[in-house]
């Protein structure tokens, strides 16, 4: 088991949500219900500007990024500029169809989403084809051997709370460096009850994950009033009035071009809390507006803040397995 440190944490990261249309239809996700798609040219221009300003990493995300028509070209731009490449995938990027593409790239970080330990149950939930865990293990092993950091994201939901203890049995688990549990946001969070939350807590407490760093989702998730959890705002109390450290090292470009302070802005606030839109404003101007906003503690009320996952990581317990 490896004990790599996240090569992307601590540096500057631009999340690029290239498109909302997706090859999956996950019940908890709003992405695939909307057709917004970025244009390749403004995105390439933004990447070049970020490189000029010495940003470190581009993380590709959104409706499965490899299915975006210009994905290969944008990945090549990032590689050519010697920035770190990372991505969040529903698994499609790890299939044999994209093997040649990945082989051309130096990938620093892969995040694979996995919501249920059982591959069939996961595929059914996401309405995706079932990817073989043995194949995923082989791809992740190849990537890890080349130095890629491997994270698994699990959306923590009422429907998988009683399955958490089984995750370490997943076939590719030995090659995973970190497990990030993200409390579900949106309508599905309404299904949380005290009993289900306690079940999740018991499952996590029972886990001994050899060598793997896993991020527990408390204390905010476990200690916040259940109504805050059900309203998708489990850490709102913890972040209100604070100067957010996360937005100082991130931007998130959503598929409609809005450049947002981080990757955890509530869907309904995206048009109002951003620094500008890539489709009508030059990247250098957007980044200038961002610098001015950060200098003025612009969002201490945390408007749109979904009490984000990276901030959770900073504030919550980080538990290391033996």
Binding site for ligand SF4 (CB under 6 A): 22, 24-26, 29, 31-32, 63-64, 90, 126
- Whether the link from the prior residue into 219 is cis, omega within 30° of 0, is yes
Secondary structure element (H or E) that encloses residue 123, with its range:
helix 119-126
Indicate whether 16 belongs to the interface with ligand SAM (CB under 6 A): no
Q: Longest Cα pair distance anywhere in the chain, in angstroms?
A: 51
Find which of ligand SF4, ligand SAM, none residue 182 binds, CB within 5 to 8 Å per kind: ligand SAM
In terms of CB distance, is 101 or 294 closer to ligand SAM?
101
Q: In the bound complex, what is the minimum distance in angstroms from residue 23's beta carbon to ligand SAM?
A: 9
Nearer to ligand SAM (CB atom), residue 122 or residue 290: 122
Q: Which x/- pattern over 150-169 shows residues binding ligand SAM (rule: CB under 6 A)?
A: ---x-x--------------
Q: Which two tokens stand for residue 277?
A: 């839109």
Residue with the two structure tokens 């994950």: 209
176 near ligand SAM, judged by CB under 6 A: no
Among 19, 20, 113, 316, binds ligand SAM (CB under 6 A): 113
CB of 114 to ligand SAM, least distance (A): 8
| Cα gap 307→238, rounded to integer Å | 8
Cα dihedral 21, 23, 25, 30, rounded to 10, equals: -20
Stretch 87-106: interaction string toward ligand SAM, x if CB under 6 A: -xxx----------------
Shortest separation between residue 233's beta carbon and ligand SAM, angstroms: 12
Q: How far is the CB of 282 from ligand SAM (least distance, A)?
A: 27
**Least CB distance from residue 229 to ligand SAM, whole Å?**
12
What 3 state SS string does 215-231 have? ECCCCHHHHCCHHHHHC
Q: By C-beta, is 84 or 92 nearer to ligand SAM?
A: 92
Residue 122 CB-half CA count within 13 A: 22
d(CA 228, CA 210): 32
Which of 4, 28, 105, 165 forms a contact with ligand SAM (CB under 6 A)? 28
Question: What DSSP string describes 194-260?
Answer: HHHHHHHHHHHHH---TT-EEE--TTHHHHS-HHHHHTT-TTHHHHTTSPPSGGGSEEEE-TTSBEE
Q: Is 310 in the site for ligand SAM (CB under 6 A)?
A: no
- Check if the beta carbon of residue 37 is closer than 8 Å to that of residue 20: yes
Smaller CB separation from ligand SF4, 64 or 228: 64
Minimum CB separation of residue 64 from ligand SF4 in Å reads 6
Among ligand SF4, ligand SAM, none, what does residue 32 contact (CB within 5–8 Å per kind)? Answer: ligand SF4
Would you say 45 and 15 are in contact if contact means Cβ atoms under 8 Å apart?
no
CA 16 to CA 87: how far, in whole Å?
A: 9
Q: Where are the beta strands (DSSP E) in the chain?
A: 13-17, 57-61, 84-89, 107-113, 149-156, 178-183, 213-215, 250-253, 259-260, 318-320
Q: If contact means CB under 5 to 8 A according to the sort of partner, which of ligand SF4, ligand SAM, none does residue 184 touch?
A: ligand SAM
**Rule CB under 6 A: which residues touch ligand SAM?**
22, 26, 28-29, 31, 61-62, 64, 88-90, 113, 153, 155, 182, 184-186
């Amino acid at each position: 088991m490896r004990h790599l440190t996240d090569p992307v944490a601590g540096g500057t990261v631009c999340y690029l949500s290239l498109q909302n249309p997706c090859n999956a239809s996950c019940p908890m996700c709003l992405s695939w219900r909307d057709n917004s798609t970025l244009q390749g040219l403004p995105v390439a221009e933004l990447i070049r500007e970020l490189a000029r300003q010495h940003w470190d990493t581009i993380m590709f995300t959104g409706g499965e990024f490899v299915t975006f028509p210009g994905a290969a070209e944008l990945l090549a731009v990032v590689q050519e500029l010697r920035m770190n490449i990372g991505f969040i995938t529903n698994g499609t990027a790890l299939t044999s169809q994209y093997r040649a593409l990945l082989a051309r790239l130096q990938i620093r970080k892969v995040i694979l989403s996995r919501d249920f330990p059982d591959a069939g149950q996961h595929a059914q939930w996401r309405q995706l084809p079932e990817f073989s865990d043995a194949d995923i293990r082989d791809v992740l092993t190849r990537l890890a051997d080349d130095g890629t950091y491997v994270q698994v994201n699990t959306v923590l939901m009422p429907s998988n709370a009683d399955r958490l203890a089984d995750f370490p049995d997943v076939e590719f688990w030995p090659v995973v460096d970190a497990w990030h549990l993200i409390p579900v946001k949106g309508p599905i969070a309404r299904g949380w009850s005290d009993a289900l939350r306690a079940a999740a807590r018991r499952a996590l407490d029972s886990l001994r994950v050899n060598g793997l760093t896993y991020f527990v989702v408390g204390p905010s998730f476990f200690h916040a009033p259940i109504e805050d959890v059900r309203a998708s705002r489990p850490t709102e109390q913890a972040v209100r009035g604070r100067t957010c450290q996360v937005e100082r090292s991130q931007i998130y470009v959503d598929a409609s071009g809005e450049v947002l302070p981080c990757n955890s802005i509530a869907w309904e606030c995206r048009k109002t809390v951003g620094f500008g839109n890539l489709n009508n404003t030059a990247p250098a101007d957007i980044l200038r507006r961002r610098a001015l906003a950060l200098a003025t503690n612009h969002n201490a009320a945390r408007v749109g803040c979904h009490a984000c996952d990276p901030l959770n990581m900073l504030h919550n317990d980080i538990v290391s397995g033996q």
